[in-house]
Structure 1
Amino acid sequence: MLGHLALVTDSTAYLPQEAVDRHRIQVVPLSVAVGDEVFAEGVEISPKDVAEALRAKQRVTTSRPSPETFTAAYRAAADAGARGIVSVHISAELSGTAEAARLAAATAPVPVRVVDSRLVGMALGSCVLAAAEIAGALDDSWVETTARGVEADGSRTTEADLDRVASAAERRAEATSGFFYVDTLEHLRRGGRIGTAQALVGSALAVKPLLHLTGGRIEPLEKVRTASRAIARLEEIAVEHAGDRTVDVAVHHLAAEDRAEALAERLRERVPKLNELYVSEVGAVIGAHVGPGLLAVVVAPVVGSTG
């Protein structure tokens, strides 16, 4: 049985499975098409599969979950005992996932708060985990209250609790930054995630681009001449943004595990107030848009949980 609040996210959060299990988070998969075959991310296709397809110059596209998929997820949460749901998703600037979630929320059997994180990867995942911490504390309080037989204002309490959980995700989203290096902008250009002119300039100058998430979109940040200098600069940017704050850091990669592990170790030594450090390969959906060689760093300050 779930607690009185349930959490739903999508497969682009790339949360550790342990965290998904511990917080009983429902993960709705996006879809990846390789040629004419369609697969559910994290279920039927791996990052390795996508990297190989891109290297072979196969056509790889992605699509959001349908509203019906979210409807089923919300109904399952309600059937498992949830009185309300917070649904936290990839930036609406990058995907129609949050829109599909909102369409389903309109007919859900319990109240649903949909949060557009304006982020992706563990930047999104960090928002989900912030929400999970608040939801867990509120569930404990709910159990204590109902054990004393105080449930007359249950509906009002659930609405207020949903607002607090959604607010925790939103506050973390506002504080979180994501930076990344790609070998080429071509995959982002093909998927429409970056302008053609920007991609062509990068190719013509033979630069190694650093990008960041801003306003929910992927935008160029800096241009560096070599891959080694770009990765060194990515490290510096992450350390600068961490500063002296307590932060969670995630290092993502696609088909670049050795470089990711090495970067993570350097960050472990250089970030003074490191709380959690995650290293993971991005899934098929993001991999389809960035291509092999991606290195990304997410810096997520630990926001106060009194919300």
Structure 2
Amino acid sequence: MTNVTIMADSASDLTKDYFTEYGMEMVSLTVHLEDKDYKDGIDITPKNVFDAMREGKSPKTSQVSPQTFKSIFTEYAKSNQTLIYLAFSSELSGTYQTAKMMEQEVKEDYPDADISIIDTKCASIGYGLVVLNAARLAKEGKSKEEIMDDAKKRALHMEHIFTVDDLEYLKRGGRVSKTAAFVGTLLNIKPILHVEDGKLIPLEKMRGTKKLLGRMVELMEERGGNFENQVIGISHGDDLERAEALAKMIKDKFGVKEVVIEFVGSAIGAHSGPGTLALFFLNKSFQ
């Protein structure tokens, strides 16, 4: 039986505790804030980033360095260990492409290296839920093939429904198209977006925040099913109160047993801004 190690990057928005509990490898994206570089999830907290943004600062992010991948992949290749790297959406970061390049380099020296990389096309806790499930299967001693099949299937069917307080942040980071960044702040219009094939796509606009949560729950009902048997994810940009209100609505309506609530991490938060609220679940076609 091979022991399979799961690797993920910090854009999964899973805290260090999860990585420790499941013996996973974590690689960090870099957050640049006020002329300093920080490792997402390690030496900067999401709260630091959101507070800085509220003060008008503009943090930037960069992908995981090629050297980081190369050294981890080499280590696994040398010791003949199996590694599955589940990557942040290639549509939102160059991290997946960098990992693929380094995988090829390492396999030139170690042709038998048992390293596999999957582009999840997911982000934040949606991506985190795919990772957690893979880690659970690895802990149960499932084969590499079983773990990869499950991760690919979950990633394909993971819905991301989210709202941001101000689309300006996503526009600045080039994460949504200019036309999509409809100016809504003056009229108290809140956008609802989703992720389609790894890209951020605006769905609709809502007036006022009151109706927003209700609409997110409606979208969940339209798109998903079998909620009582799945873990639901919620991530928030320093707005735990709203995240908990949404979790309560979902539990009351769908009989959901487990909801994972986490901060939107520093790397994603630097683009989505404070007040982001995101909901993740498996859609109806997941069997």
TM-score by length of 2: 0.89
Cα drift, residue 301 of structure 1: 6.2
Against the structure 1 CA distance between its residues 82 and 242, is the aligned structure 2 distance closer, same or farther, given a 3 Å change threshold?
farther
Question: Is residue 70 of structure 1 aligned with residue 52 of structure 2?
Answer: no
- 2:218 maps to 1:236: yes
Structure 2 counterpart of 1:23: 22
| Number of residue-to-residue matches in the alignment | 280
Distance in structure 2 (CA, Å) of the matches to 1:74 and 1:296: 32
**Aligned residue in 2 for 1:260:** 243
- After superposition, residues 9-158 of structure 1 pair within 5 angstroms as 9-78=8-77, 83-108=81-106, 109=110, 110-138=113-141
In structure 1, stretches of 5+ residues that fail to align are: 140-160
Letter in 2 for 1:207: I
The secondary structure found in structure 1 opposite 2:180 is helix
Higher helix share: 1
CA 1:9–1:288: 2 relative to 1, 3 Å: same
Q: Look up the SS of the partner of 1:58 in the other structure.
A: coil
Contact 1:251 1:296 in 2 (8 A): yes
User: Aligned to 1:8, what secondary structure does the other structure show?
Assistant: strand
Q: TM-score, normalised by structure 1?
A: 0.84
Checking the alignment, whether the CA contact within 8 Å between 1:29 and 1:40 is kept in structure 2 is yes
Look up the SS of the partner of 2:26 in the other structure.
Answer: strand
Secondary structure of 2:280's match?
strand
Q: Which letter does structure 2 place at the counterpart of 1:58?
A: K
What is the match of residue 234 of structure 2?
A: 251
- Aligned-partner SS, 1:129: helix
Distance 1:24 1:72 in 2: 18
Contact 1:9–1:26 (CA under 8 A) maintained in structure 2 = yes
The one-character-per-residue Cα deviations of 1:15-45 (angstroms, maximum 9, x if unpaired) are: 2444322321111000000131111001111
Alpha-carbon contact 1:88-1:114 (below 8 Å) kept: yes
Residues 52-74 of structure 1: CA deviation (Å, up to 9, x unaligned)? 11111112101101111112222
* Counterpart position of 1:194: 176
Read off the aligned partner of 1:179 and give its amino acid letter: I
Call closer, same or farther: CA 1:276–1:82 in 2, change over 3 Å.
Answer: farther
1:188 positional shift: 0.2
Calculate percent identity across the aligned residue pairs. 30
Secondary structure at 2:64 match in 1: coil
Deviation at 1:166, TM superposition (A): 1.8
Q: Alpha carbon RMSD of aligned pairs, Å? A: 2.3
Task: Assess if the C-alpha contact under 8 Å between 2:126 and 2:280 holds in 1.
Answer: yes
C-alpha contact (below 8 Å) 1:255/1:292 kept by paired residues: yes
Partner of 1:292: 274
Q: Separation in 1 of the partners of 2:191 and 2:182? A: 12
> Shift in Å at residue 107 of structure 1?
3.1
Residue 7 of structure 2 corresponds to 8
Distance in 2 (CA, whole Å) between partners of 1:16 and 1:35 is 24
**Which shifted more, 37-46 or 224-233?**
224-233
Which residue identity does 2:157 align to in structure 1?
Answer: A
Decide which structure has the larger Cα Rg and report it.
Answer: 1
